[in-house]
């Protein structure tokens, strides 16, 4: 299995390499790919060092799967070229998510939609991923009518520049800024650009992506997304209105038995999900489960997950694992194994 990681030197790309190693994905030949300025550098994977190569060189090596985390513009240009060369592309950018010809996949929710014909597969927005993992079992049981979500998103969702801004401000040091205002000791109700309807693009991503992943355009979603001075882990306050009434204990047990979900919900012992506890974990943590006393058939919940892992890297690799399990991706048997790009 030849695996290309495009954007291998970035925050998410580095996390992808970590998750590939931890989950023992069968990488026979790793092809780390990055921009021209990073070509020739080396990265470490499974105790060996690998040279970073260019896009063109990577395509020439004919990877079986290419996991992209290099931004929408790069994905638009290069993902089709990798696909034409025979690779199955799993793309972490927003480039293909709402393309009607491309699948938008969270394995716990809708992996069944994937077929051998899907050569470019979209990885959803980080905040959408963790929300739909928790919503799917509830929708199947009670049917969701409407979702009101407010997010509390960490600076790693923006990238290294944002992390540096937070740390510099915390230390009182000058430096390059990712945001138009201070982020330390502050909140920014502004993620991505503002649109003509007054919502940000991040908010509308959650609206449209939720409907597509859940396969139900009747679900009404409204979102407010907020950047908070937390280094890692996104949190969400989610209000869900159902068509049918629910028993809270049954609902709690339903979530606890759902793949990818961990229920942390014991207010008497001050147990609830927090970003610090989700760090470097692949699960979606759910707590603060309680009825909305202002409206019938409505639940309040709190959802937390590591945005670099389940919100990006892990979800992409889980897609690859599903493709492998279903025989859509296939291991090739060879007489000799080569580590072509090791140094």
Instruction: State the catalytic residues.
Output: 126, 234
Cα–Cα–Cα angle for 263, 189, 228, nearest 5°?
Answer: 50
Contacts of 94 (CB under 8 A, 6+ apart): 72, 125, 205
Looking at residue 238, the DSSP 8-state letter turns out to be E
CA 260 from centre of chain: 13
Question: How far is residue 63's CA from residue 87's CA, in Å, rounded to a whole number?
Answer: 6
Longest dimension (CA), the chain: 67
144-153 sheet: strands from edge to edge: 220-227, 144-153, 234-242, 298-305, 284-291, 261-263
Contact 313, 281 (CB under 8 A): no
Length of the chain counted residue by residue? 343
Answer whether 39's CB lies under 8 Å from 8's CB: no
d(CA 305, CA 276): 10
């Amino acid at each position: 299995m030849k695996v290309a990681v495009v954007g291998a030197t970035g925050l998410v790309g580095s996390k992808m390499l970590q998750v590939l190693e931890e989950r023992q994905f069968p990488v026979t030949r790793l092809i780390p790919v990055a921009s021209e300025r990073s070509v020739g550098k080396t990265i470490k994977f499974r105790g060996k060092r690998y040279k970073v190569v260019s896009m063109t060189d990577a395509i020439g090596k004919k990877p079986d799967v290419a996991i992209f985390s290099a931004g929408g513009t790069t994905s638009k240009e290069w993902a089709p070229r990798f696909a034409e060369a025979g690779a199955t592309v799993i793309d972490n950018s927003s480039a293909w998510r709402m393309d009607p010809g491309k699948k938008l996949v969270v394995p716990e929710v809708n992996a069944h939609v994937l077929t051998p014909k899907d050569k470019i597969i979209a990885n959803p927005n980080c905040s959408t991923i963790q929300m739909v993992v928790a919503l799917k079992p509830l929708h199947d049981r009670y049917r969701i009518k409407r979702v009101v979500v407010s997010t509390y998103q960490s600076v790693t969702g923006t990238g290294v520049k944002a992390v540096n801004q937070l740390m510099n401000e915390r230390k009182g040091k000058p430096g390059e800024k990712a945001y138009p205002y201070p982020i330390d000791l502050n909140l920014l109700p502004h993620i991505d650009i503002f649109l003509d309807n007054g919502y940000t693009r991040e908010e509308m991503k959650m609206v449209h992506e939720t409907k597509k992943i859940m396969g139900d355009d009747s679900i009404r979603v409204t979102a407010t997304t907020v950047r908070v001075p937390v280094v890692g882990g996104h949190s969400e306050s989610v209000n869900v209105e159902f068509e049918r009434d629910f028993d809270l204990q049954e609902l709690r047990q339903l979530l606890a038995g759902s793949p990818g979900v961990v229920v942390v919900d014991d207010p008497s012992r001050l147990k609830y999900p927090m970003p610090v506890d989700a760090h470097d974990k692949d699960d979606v943590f759910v707590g603060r489960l309680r009825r909305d006393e202002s409206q019938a058939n409505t639940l309040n919940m709190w959802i937390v997950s590591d945005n670099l892992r389940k919100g990006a890297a892990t979800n992409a690799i889980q897609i690859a694992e599903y493709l492998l399990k279903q025989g859509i991706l296939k291991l090739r048997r060879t007489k000799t194994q080569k580590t072509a790009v090791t140094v």
